[in-house]
Structure 1
Amino acid sequence: MRDPVVEAIHVAKGRRLPMQPKQSVEVEAGKGIVGDRYHGTRHRHVTVQSRTSLDEAAEVYGRPVPAELTRRNLTLSDGVVPRDPGALLRVGDVLLEVVRVAAPCKLLDDTIGAGAQEALRRRAGTVFRVLEGGTIRVGDPVSSPAPRPA
């Protein structure tokens, strides 16, 4: 298996507004993605999912699950996104820390189609806070660094 990279980036300026694709985004420590609806919130700074999970959801769902319709910010090319609170993920220059699993919401049935919410259960990605900011670009490498010393 190859190392994962950022396959897609999506942001939305408001809760129910469509996600917009980006080639790169600026990410601020303690705040999130500049221009995204969750920028400045307490802990929900960046959401991350993987193509692997989307493909698994598509098998359950019976048709493709478009990354931009899941409402997640980053889609990784493959692999498993960390889910345990406190786990770290390095995306390009940016260091993220797991807050919690991202639960799929009913909005997925409205935007993707009936049954999408259920197909994405346990496959909907992870919510992160930003520990170190920077720029994230499509194609950036992704790794899980060792935990920070206490």
Structure 2
Amino acid sequence: MTSTPEWVSVPNMTLPTVWMATPEGLVSVDLIAVELAMNGRRKGWTLSPDEARYAARVMLDKGISYSLISTRVGASTATLRAWFPGEIRPTAAHLAREGDRTLSDAACGTVRGYRRHHRRQQTPCQPCKDANAAADLHYRKHGTYKGAPEPEQVAL
């Protein structure tokens, strides 16, 4: 696991704002904003896409994990992968996740199924309503959903 340096500085910072030539043309980069963002001091403001890409490149070259880069520059992991194809990977092999990471569809007759119906703007089916009612009753009695009846315990 790589350690995060105490302070990440922009290489050879002499001017607060510079113009950089890119394949898309000239872009302006505020190096002070970039340095503040790279060091986790981006609160209430965002970097431009060009500044974010520049900051991500500097941090990636310093060996900082892509999840921290994503948080600090305000870009998703998918955006980082598009910017740097083949360079975004876990810091250790055992952290790599195999296969599709999407959640499996929630089964009817469960609280998750009940919430899925609402997320899809559907009317919940009766088994989902019953499961949600049982979980709600448990919450009202105990003040927690922990220990709420499982779907098999819900009378359908």
Q: What is the TM-score when the length of structure 1 is the normalising length?
A: 0.22
| Between structures 1 and 2, the one with greater strand share | 1
By relative contact order (CA 8 Å, sep 6+), the higher-ranking structure is 1
| Between structures 1 and 2, the one with greater helix share | 2
Q: What is the TM-score when the length of structure 2 is the normalising length?
A: 0.21
Rg (Cα) greater in structure: 2
